[in-house]
Amino acid sequence: MNIIHITSLTEPGLEVFSTLTEAQLRNRLEPEKGVFIVESPKVIRVALDAGYEPLALLCERRHIEGDAEDIVRRVGDIPIYTGERELLASLTGYTLTRGVLCAMRRPQPLPLKEVCKDARRIVVIDGVVDTTNIGAIFRSAAALGIDAVLITKNSCDPLNRRAVRVSMGSVFLVPWTWLDDTRLQVQLAEMGFKSAAMALTDNSVALDDERLKHEPRLALIMGTEGDGLPESTIASADYVVRIPMAHGVDSLNVAAASAVAFWELRAK
């Protein structure tokens, strides 16, 4: 084991945990060198089980032979930085969850057709920028039987540290990839999916409409938190779908709406 005891956050090798921004970790100029951060032993285990490659570990000293003991054994000879809780808690921008962070190599995006090859129910996340919502949508997708997630490039990165944490590692369980939103409907149709845009319009159908449930391949399109889906996306969708509401409430948060839709339209 390559355990490195630290007394300062300025020591070489700690930049990935202490000073690099999410954009720098993602490394847009050289994506093959991209990194992301996973937080807490439970979520790190999910990532390792899914085959993600660890690069470095930052761990409270007491967890080396405690909560993270099995992780330390699994990660091989990568650097394992360790120090006292007070030192690690002073990391800029980080509030440690259970005292363990893992830097992992960002995988290359999967081809769209590979992600959707055997899928019957998928979700398209279009323009959702809140990290908490992204994480919650992934968690619901994993729990409620969604086969794949497609994300437009104007949405939040699912491997953002907070999104990963909120998802409880579900971003590692459901196949996902980026989607060219300018060809959204064409790409879905080419793969045999009918599209269902979640929106409030005069011609929308209720979520429990029997036609939706009998579609062999269905793509649910969820829009941004504020403005919803673009008019062009709604106009070109095969269905426009609403969740029936009570007490004059017009809509749900996108994460809550996704969970309701996933449950109602799950493949049977």
Alpha helical stretches, state H, 168-253: 184-190, 210-213, 231-236
Lowest-pLDDT range of 112-121, 204-213, 224-233: 224-233
Tens of pLDDT, residues 25-38: 777 545 667 899 99
Contacts of 37 (CB under 8 A, 6+ apart): 16, 17, 25, 101, 102, 103, 104, 161, 164
pLDDT digits (tens, 9 = 90+) for 204-213: 999 999 999 9
Given this model, what pLDDT does residue 30 score? 59
Over residues 169-177, mean pLDDT = 96
Domains and CATH numbers, the chain: 2-105 (3.30.1330.30), 112-264 (3.40.1280.10)
Maximum separation of any 2 CA atoms in the chain, in Å: 63
CB 58 within 8 A of CB 88: yes
**What is the structure's pLDDT at 92?**
41
Is pLDDT at 93 greater than 50 in this prediction? no
The residues, any chain, with a CB within 8 Å of residue 53's CB and separated by 6 or more, are: 104, 105
In one-letter notation, the amino acid at residue 143 is A
Averaged confidence pLDDT in the chain: 88
> Percentage of the chain surpassing pLDDT 90?
57
For the cut 90, the answer to whether the pLDDT of residue 78 exceeds it is yes
pLDDT at 196: 96
